[in-house]
Amino acid sequence: MQANLVNEGLRLLPGALERTAQEILLAAVQNVIRAAPFYRPEMPRSGRPFSIEMTNAGSLGWVSDREGYRYQARHPVTDAPWPAMPAEILDVWHRFSQYPGDPECCLINVYRGDNPKLGLHRDEDEETYEAPVVSVSLGESCKFRIGGLTRKDPTRSLTLHSGDVVVLAGPSRLRYHGVDRILAGSSTLIEGGGRINLTLRRVRP
């Protein structure tokens, strides 16, 4: 593993999950996707679709539509409860979060197709910011942009590879971040290519 970058609660952990661990985690995620298929959310104001698809695991799932950003207990398309969070995902949380409680949401984003990206944003729809956000990259590498606590703060671009883990905690819990682009062909983990990102969060105190 390369040297970790630690900055006021921001931890970038390159190569935190080796290939076998990535394969085990991916299999668990694929089971979630079979129970809760990917769907394409809409932006609240414009109604335009995201360029990525998503689903969730856990007691709550993050959704976006004309009514806004929020958490809810059921899939917005199938109306079924979100699948329980697999043990493999919980293991990642307990290994890297340094937080005693379990996560309530695992947001699963898939980047595939024509120029998928995620604009600069921060995770602020939770009722508490006490717990960290733990993000895991699987599949193709991406150009990840990380900024400060306001949208106008300077940003820097980093390359995240399959198996890398990012933790936003403490003073860095509300840092702005986003995905500029995917580096196609950079990984063989996911059949047919693409990138899957897992974002683990506590929602309630």
Q: What pLDDT digit, counting tens, does each position of 156-195 carry? A: 999 999 999 999 999 999 999 999 999 999 999 999 999 9
Q: How confident is the model at residue 5 (pLDDT cuts 50, 70, 90)?
A: low
The pLDDT of residue 183: 96
Domain spans of the chain, in order of start: 5-201
Average pLDDT over residues 116-120: 93
pTM comes to 0.94
Q: Tell me the per-residue pLDDT of 125-168, one tens digit each, with 9 for 90 and over.
A: 999 999 999 999 999 999 999 999 999 999 999 999 999 999 99
Close Cβ partners of 32 (under 8 Å, ≥ 6 residues apart): 55, 57, 83, 86, 106, 108
Query: CA 104, CA 127: separation in Å to the nearest integer?
Result: 12
Question: Going by CATH, does the domain composed of 5-201 fall within 1.20.1090.10?
Answer: no
Which one, of 57, 111, 112, lies nearest residue 88 by Cα?
57
